[in-house]
Chain A
Amino acid sequence: EPEVTQTPSHQVTQMGQEVILRCVPISNHLYFYWYRQILGQKVEFLVSFYNNEISEKSEIFDDQFSVERPDGSNFTLKIRSTKLEDSAMYFCASSGLAEMSEQFFGPGTRLTVL
C-alpha cells in the first residue's frame, strides 16, 4: 500500500539554525501539506501546496518557513532560523486529484530545538 514517508524521524538542532524536513508524498497525489503538533496538543495546519505553489498558509507559517518541491518526488519544509517554540512533531500529508479527498499522513519528524 502506498504511503507518505518522512525523514529524518528525529532532528535535534540549536536555536537559530536552519532545518529542512523532507517528505516523499504518495506518487500520484497532487496536493501536499505540512502540519505540526506540539506535544500534547492538537494537530495544526501550516501550509498546503498545489501546482507548484502555496494554496493556503496559516498564521504560524511566517517568513521563517518555506516549502519546496525540488523534484518530482520530494516535498520539503525549511525553517530558516529555528526557535525553541518550533519544537514539535511535523507531519507531511498528501491527497489525490479532488478537493475534499482523504489526506494521507506520514509518520512525522520530531524536531527538537535546544
Chain B
Amino acid sequence: GESVGLHLPTLSVQEGDNSIINCAYSNSASDYFIWYKQESGKGPQFIIDIRSNMDKRQGQRVTVLLNKTVKHLSLQIAATQPGDSAVYFCAENIGYGNKLVFGAGTILRVKS
C-alpha cells in the first residue's frame, strides 16, 4: 500500500542550530514531494518541493534532499528560529488527480 511516514515525532533544537526532519516514503512511483509547515490552528503552508529527477533543492534557509534509492526525504532548516516552531509534514504526489499523501508529522520545538 501507499504510505509516507516520519521517523521522529518531536524534535527540539536550540535557536540558531540547524534542524533536520526526516521522512520515509513507500511508493517508488511517486514523482513529486513537498514539505509543509503547519502552525497551530492554521492550514498547511508550503515550504519547498522537489521532483523525482532531482536529489537536492535549496530555498531560503531550507534544503530538501531526496534519496530515491532508500526512499527517504529530509528537510534541513538552517539557523532555526523560534518562528520555525510548528508541525512539519512531508507529502508525496501520487497519481492522476494530484493526490497528496501526507506523513504523520514532526513537531519542531525551538528553544530560545
Contact = CB atoms under 8 A, between A and B. Distances in A.
Contacts of A108: 42-43
A50 B98 CA distance: 10
Nearest to B5: A42
Contacts of B104: 41-42
Contacts of A31: 98
A18 interface: no
Interface residues of A, number: 27
B97 A48 contact: yes
Dominant SS among interface residues on chain A: strand
Interface in B60-104: 89, 91, 93, 95-104
A42 B99 contact: no
A71 interface: no
Nearest to B31: A100
A95 interface: yes
A45 B100 contact: yes
A99 B98 contact: yes
Interface residues of B, number: 26
A62 interface: no
B45 interface: yes
A100 B99 contact: no
A94 to B, nearest CB: 10
Nearest to A55: B97
Contact of B42 (A58, A99, A107): A107
Contacts of A58: 99
Interface of A: 4, 31, 33, 35, 41-45, 48, 50, 55-56, 58, 91, 93, 95, 99-108
13 contacts: A31-B98, A33-B98, A43-B44, A44-B102, A48-B98, A55-B98, A56-B96, A56-B98, A91-B43, A100-B51, A103-B34, A103-B46, A105-B44
Given A56-B97, A100-B98, A102-B46, 13 more contacts: A33-B98, A42-B104, A42-B105, A43-B89, A44-B102, A45-B99, A55-B98, A99-B98, A100-B93, A103-B98, A105-B36, A105-B43, A105-B45
